[in-house]
Chain A
């Protein structure tokens, strides 16, 4: 009681102390009343800066695509208007409330889109002397894809930025602000990819095709699916069916259709399917590291993976995977030394897998998965 009484008596009365306390009370009040508004202001500024960067990037990618079409593709007319229409073209995915047969529908829509892109670019680049060079067409397709992706990314970020501003939604802005560094990193990777595409240089994702091209050299090649070629070769008494996308064009081919065709139509009974692909590394992992595993080593929308898994399951063929680790930027820009030099080690791993998992007289299917720009066979 005595202590409480003495504490109560210690209320300051001098002006300095009162100003001091009032100052802290005001700060507390200000923080309480306007804190989130202040943070929203900083978030808006931050996102705005990122959005400007994205806008510059998408404009640059668009310009690069147009310049390539004009300078290398030698288009007869100005392609600007056509390219702008291209950037806003949408692919409507099939309804998924009844998932039965969904993969087939997605495949149909995606194939239709790819065919349309190829046809339009081909028309744009066709010269009086005949059809345009396949490498130029494929590079143009990839450049337009990059420009479209950046355009879409910019639109989505701008949408949430304006929505957050309009509704004064602190949490919308905060989430976008947190994601911005990763979005910019991805956009940067896409923009850097245009340099490699224009020059026709192999990209990190092309490590699978680089490895299998060694097995296909000097052998007769046949087209097994759209943009996909196959060669038959031999390794230590095993018959190898080696396939990859048709290079040196910037194609990824249709390995799913190809593997299905080899097993179901050609009647080949492989003892193993070995797939070689690039895989995204986790932070801290080294580029060019090799990982082995089982399953279908293929990315993308999932159609090819489904087809391969289905064909392998039906025929009861084990699926083996050899992966080369790399970051996203390394996967879509010119192949780095450490990734390229992993190709010899991957070939050794592939030989070992074939020797361990199959026996003489067996048939083995080997697929090099990835963009085969700058890698022929």
Chain B
């Protein structure tokens, strides 16, 4: 998983990729992989088996490390 330092240095940011199904709207969240970009084809939708597309790539704070 991609990790980058947070703004306050005590937290790490975990980067996620969101895949969205254009047919049923189901969103799947997974760890970011190098080569991911917004609008790139994702995997098959787990609900309707349609081709998903990457709709967002974003970072979230992980728990502060001690």
Contacts and interface: CB of A to CB of B under 8 A. Distances in A.
Interface of A: 192, 195-196, 199-202, 210, 213, 217, 247-248, 327, 329-330, 333-337, 339-341, 343, 374-377
Main secondary structure of the interface of B (DSSP, over half): strand
Nearest to A216: B39
Contacts of A375: 37-39
Contacts of A341: 56, 58
B36 to A, nearest CB: 7
B38 A213 contact: yes
Contacts of B56: 210, 335, 340-341, 343
B20 to A, nearest CB: 10
Contacts of A336: 13, 58-60
A340 B7 contact: no
Interface residues of B, number: 20
Contacts, number: 75
Contacts of A192: 4-5
B15 A334 contact: yes
Contact of A329 (B2, B7, B34, B39): B7
Nearest to A375: B38
A339 B13 CA distance: 14
Given A192-B5, A333-B4, A376 B39 contact: yes
A201 B38 contact: no
B59 A374 contact: no
B38 A199 contact: no
B53 A217 contact: yes
A377 B39 contact: yes
Contacts of A377: 39
B21 to A, nearest CB: 14
B4 A334 contact: yes
Contact of A337 (B5, B32, B58): B58
Contacts of A217: 39, 53
Interface in B7-57: 7, 13, 15, 32, 34-40, 53, 56-57
B38 A337 contact: no
Contact of A201 (B7, B39, B57): B57
A223 to B, nearest CB: 17
A210 B35 contact: no
Given A195-B5, A201-B2, A202-B58, 13 more contacts: A192-B4, A202-B37, A202-B38, A248-B37, A248-B38, A327-B7, A334-B57, A335-B59, A337-B59, A339-B58, A374-B37, A375-B39, A376-B39
B4 A196 contact: yes
Given A334-B59, A340-B57, A200 B35 contact: yes
